Amino acid sequence: MEFTRHRRLRVSENMRSLVRENHVHVEDLIYPIFVIAGENVKNEIKSMPGVFQISMDLLKAEMEEVVALGIKSVILFGVPEEAEKDACGSGAFHDHGIVQVATRFVKEHFPEMIVIADTCLCEYTEHGHCGVLDEKGSVINDETLVLLKQTAVSQAQAGADIIAPSNMMDGFVAAIREGLDEAGFHHIPIMSYAVKYASAFYGPFRDAANSAPKFGDRKQYQMDPANRLEALREAESDVLEGADFLMVKPAMAFMDIIRDVKNEFNLPMVAYNVSGEYAMIKAAALNGWIDEKRIVMELMLGFKRSGCNLVITYHAKDIARWLKESR
Ligand code: PBG
C-alpha cells in the first residue's frame, strides 16, 4: 500500500523545529501604552487586567521594563482630562498635548525606541467621534482631514518615528502625507489603519481611552464586518496615497482579510490584536480555563501564517517574557 508518511517530520522537537515555517520574534511586537493626565497614576483597566493608564511620571519605569524585555516599538495613546476635550479635539494637535509630551519624553530617554503615534481625534473630542460633526451628528470628512494633518505634523514634531492614522476618513493618508512633506518630514512613514472594521472588539479600549462615542456608533466611517472586497479597495486607495505599512483591525475574526491584503500588496502588514481579543483571553486565563501562554502563542503564529509581519498586542510584554524563557 502506498501512502505518505507525514509523521516522519514530526518525530522530535528538533525535527519539528527544522521544518517549522513560521516563528514569532520579539521584533514582531508593538506594545500599546495609555498615557493619562495627572501624577502618580497607574490605573489598571478593569476589562484589561495587566494593562494600565499610566501618568507621565511613571512612564520611565514602564519604558525601562519594555526595553529590558527587548521590545523595540510602542504605540502611544493619550487619555486627557475630560475638561480639556472640545468639539474639534484640539488636544490631539497641541504642542503640549499628552501624546506630544509623552513622545518627547520617550524619545529623550529611549532614543532607540520606535514611537508610533495613533492619529485620531476620538480621545480628544467631547462627543467621542473621530472628527468634527455636522448639525446632524455625522462626521464631516474633509474638514476633519485638516485637523488630522495638523495632528500628524505635531506628532512628528514631537519626535514620533511613525504616524499611524486610525480615523477611517477618506483621503487621510493623502492629507497626512502632504502635511508631513510640507513640514519637512519626508522621512516619516505612515502606518495606515487601512482596513478597520466597526467592531464590538474595541469595547475595552474605549474604557481605557475614555473614547466611546457619546451617541451613535462609528459605522459611517469604519467598515462593515460583512465585507471582504471592500477591504481591498480601502487598502488600494491607501497604497496609492502613499501608505508605508498596511494594517488590518481587529485581527482574530479577520485573518482572511490579512491574507487577502498581504497577497495583493507588497507592503509590511500589521495586525491589531485589539482590546476585546485580549480581554477574552485574559478572562479565561484568570479563571483557569485555558493555558494562556499556549493560546496566545498559537494565535500569534496564526497572525504570522495569515501574512502579517507585525502585531500590535497588549500581550507584547507577556510574549517577550515567554520568548526569553524559551531560549
Ligand atoms: C482610535 C482607536 C481605537 C482603537 C485604536 N485606535 C478605538 C476605536 O476606533 O473606537 C481600538 C484599539 C483596541 O480596541 O485595542 N480611533
Residues 90-101: pLDDT tens digits?
999 999 999 999
Lookup: cell for 127: 462627543
Quick one: which H or E segment has residue 264?
helix 255-264
Candidates 85, 149, 196, 304; catalytic one: 196
Distance CA 217, CA 206 (A): 12
* Structure letter (DSSP) for residue 244: S
Q: Is the CB of 202 under 6 A from ligand 1?
A: yes
Q: What percent of the chain has pLDDT over 70?
A: 100
Sign of the dihedral defined by the CA atoms of residues 273, 277, 281, 283, in that order:
positive
Candidates 85, 149, 249, 317; catalytic one: 249
User: Which atom of ligand 1 lies closest to the CA of 167?
Assistant: 16
pLDDT at 191: 98
Cβ atoms of 312 and 251 closer than 8 Å? no
pLDDT at 223: 97
Q: Active-site residue 72, yes or no?
A: no
When comparing pLDDT for 103 and 326, which is higher?
A: 103
Judge whether residue 67 has pLDDT over 90. yes
When comparing pLDDT for 207 and 318, which is higher?
A: 318
Instruction: Map grid coordinates 525606541 to a residue.
Output: 113
The total of other beta-carbon atoms located within 10 Å of residue 87's CB is: 11
Under the banding of pLDDT at 50, 70 and 90, the label for residue 327 is confident
Instruction: From residue 223, give the alpha-carbon distance in Å to each of 50, 59, 178, 228, 256.
Output: 29, 34, 25, 10, 15
Q: Which of 51, 63, 154 is nearest to 107 (CA)?
A: 63
Q: Is the CB of 118 under 6 A from ligand 1?
A: yes
Ligand 1 binding pocket mutation candidate from 129, 197, 205 (most atoms within 8 A of CB): 205
Q: What is the mean pLDDT of residues 213-221?
A: 93
- Residue partners of 327: CB distance under 8 A and separation at least 6: none
- Residue partners of 282: CB distance under 8 A and separation at least 6: 48, 49, 50, 292
Q: Active-site residue 196, yes or no?
A: yes
pLDDT at 125: 96
Distance CA 210, CA 207 (A): 5
Q: Is the CB of 168 under 6 A from ligand 1?
A: no
Q: Is the CB of 199 under 6 A from ligand 1?
A: no
- Which tens digits make up the pLDDT trace of 145-196? 999 999 999 999 999 999 999 999 999 999 999 999 999 999 999 999 999 9
Does pTM surpass 0.85?
yes
- Which tens digits make up the pLDDT trace of 8-59? 999 999 999 999 999 999 999 999 999 999 999 999 999 999 999 999 999 9
Judge whether residue 248 has pLDDT over 90. yes
Under the banding of pLDDT at 50, 70 and 90, the label for residue 106 is very high
- The average confidence (pLDDT) of the chain is 97
- Which tens digits make up the pLDDT trace of 249-273? 999 999 999 999 999 999 999 999 9
pLDDT at 136: 92
Q: What percent of the chain has pLDDT over 90?
A: 98
Domains of the chain: 22-325 (3.20.20.70)
How are beta strands 48-55 and 310-313 bridged, if at all? Answer: unpaired
pLDDT at 241: 98
